[in-house]
Amino acid sequence: DVGFGKTEVALRAAFIAAMEGFQVAVVVPTTLLSRQHFKTFSQRFSGLPIRVAQASRLVGAKDLAETKKGIAEGTVDIVVGTHALLGASISFKNLGLLIIDEEQHFGVKHKERLKDLKSDVHVLTLSATPIPRTLQLALTGVRELSLIATPPVDRLAVRTFISPFDPLVIRETLLRERYRGGHSFYVVPRISDLAEIHDFLRESVPELKVAVAHGQMPPGELDDIMNAFYDGQYDVLLSTTIVESGLDIPTANTLIVHRADMFGLSQLYQLRGRVGRSKVRAYALFTLP
């Protein structure tokens, strides 16, 4: 399920493969998630002879060229990246394990490309909301399936509410999170909705600091905003579904989704999984027009 520790499984699998002398590729759907995993892997393996690299839009051209060279020569042990890793320009010296996180975001073409990489690569796919095709393969026994059935210790379930759009309720919800020292996500369906909601928040909750993030920003700017939000410089992160996959910000425990009727079920499920990642009770509010 969402927030049950799939990343931990990935870390341990990657460690085993890297220590046996194989290369590991971790493929994720978004640049934000790639950045987060890169940090997680780098921190976990900091004292070990394992070299972790990143390949995504957030990496400069010079660094990317070096990473590609390292992958081909075998000096990079673990590489974390978006589907750029599946491109034809990247060749691995000795790929042993391929980890696909949030597998539901990748199309069949991407997955077929993975098979071309090497015939004897071990593949580990992680997902809280698998697509029917993958589920079918797992249930019919074509692929092995393992479930993480229990949440981490002390984890509380997310309380979910659905209500019509009400400025007062939203103000209360955001301020309550602020008073208990936490942060909030405010998710809108389209980039075009961001300005309108930003103005609304400035009027109705002027005491909160709001950061805006979406996928069409320059990479450096997006990075700065996410870092600032992570460090607690903002109270609310107003964004599109760019935060949907796998982001782990333990202090953020309130989620408000604008026009929840515009999202798909698995999107809402994934979004709800962005909160409630620590010992604090989390709240999700889905608003309707």
Q: 57 or 265: whose pLDDT is higher? A: 265
The pLDDT of residue 171 is 95
Phi (first) and psi of residue 38, to 5 degrees:
-60, -45
| Number of domains the chain is built from | 2
Q: For residue 283, give both structure tokens.
A: 């709240």
* pLDDT classification of 248: cutoffs 50, 70, 90: confident
Identify how many contiguous H helices and E strands the chain contains and give both numbers. 9, 11
Among the listed residues 244, 212, 245, 242, the one whose alpha carbon sits nearest the alpha carbon of residue 229: 212
What is the CATH classification number for the domain harbouring 186? Answer: 3.40.50.300
Under 8 Å between Cβ of 236 and 152: no
Q: Is residue 149 in some structural domain? A: no
The pLDDT of residue 118 is 64
Task: Tell me the per-residue pLDDT of 65-108, one tens digit each, with 9 for 90 and over.
Answer: 999 999 999 999 999 998 888 877 788 899 999 999 988 888 87
Under 8 Å between Cβ of 107 and 86: no
Average pLDDT over residues 235-259: 88
Question: At 11, is the secondary structure helix, strand, or coil?
Answer: helix
Using only C-alpha atoms, the chain has a radius of gyration, in whole angstroms, of 20
Q: Give, for 34, the enclosing helix (H) or strand (E).
A: helix 31-44
Q: Is residue 146 in some structural domain? A: no
Q: Please give the residue range of the domain that contains residue 266.
A: 159-288
Query: What DSSP string describes 157-218?
Result: PPEEEEEE--HHHHHHHHHHHHHTT-EEEEE-SSGGGHHHHHHHHHHH-TTS-EEEE-TTS-
Question: Is residue 246 scored above 70 in pLDDT?
Answer: no
> Are 126 and 226 in the same domain?
no
Computed over every residue of the chain, the mean pLDDT equals 89
Average pLDDT over residues 207-217: 91
Among the listed residues 103, 106, 55, 105, the one whose alpha carbon sits nearest the alpha carbon of residue 81: 55
Average pLDDT over residues 272-284: 90
> Are 226 and 185 in the same domain?
yes
The pLDDT of residue 24 is 95
The pLDDT of residue 181 is 92
Among the listed residues 193, 159, 186, the one whose alpha carbon sits nearest the alpha carbon of residue 171: 186
The pLDDT of residue 178 is 93
> Are 132 and 182 in the same domain?
no
Q: Which of 89, 107, 139 is the last residue of a domain?
A: 139
> Are 163 and 283 in the same domain?
yes
Q: Is residue 144 in some structural domain? A: no
> Are 129 and 10 in the same domain?
yes
Phi (first) and psi of residue 154, to 5 degrees:
70, 10
Average pLDDT over residues 227-250: 86
In this prediction the pTM is 0.83
Tell me how far apart the alpha carbons of residues 2 and 181 are, in angstroms, rounded to a whole number: 23
> Are 188 and 122 in the same domain?
no
The pLDDT of residue 4 is 85
Average pLDDT over residues 145-158: 87
Burial class (CB in 10 A: 0-12, 13-18, 19+), 142: exposed
With a pLDDT cut of 90, the percent of the chain lying above it is 49
The answer for residues whose C-beta is within 8 angstroms of residue 140's C-beta and 6 or more apart is none
Question: Is residue 257 scored above 90 in pLDDT?
Answer: yes
The pLDDT of residue 204 is 93
Beta pairing, strands 95-101 & 122-126: parallel
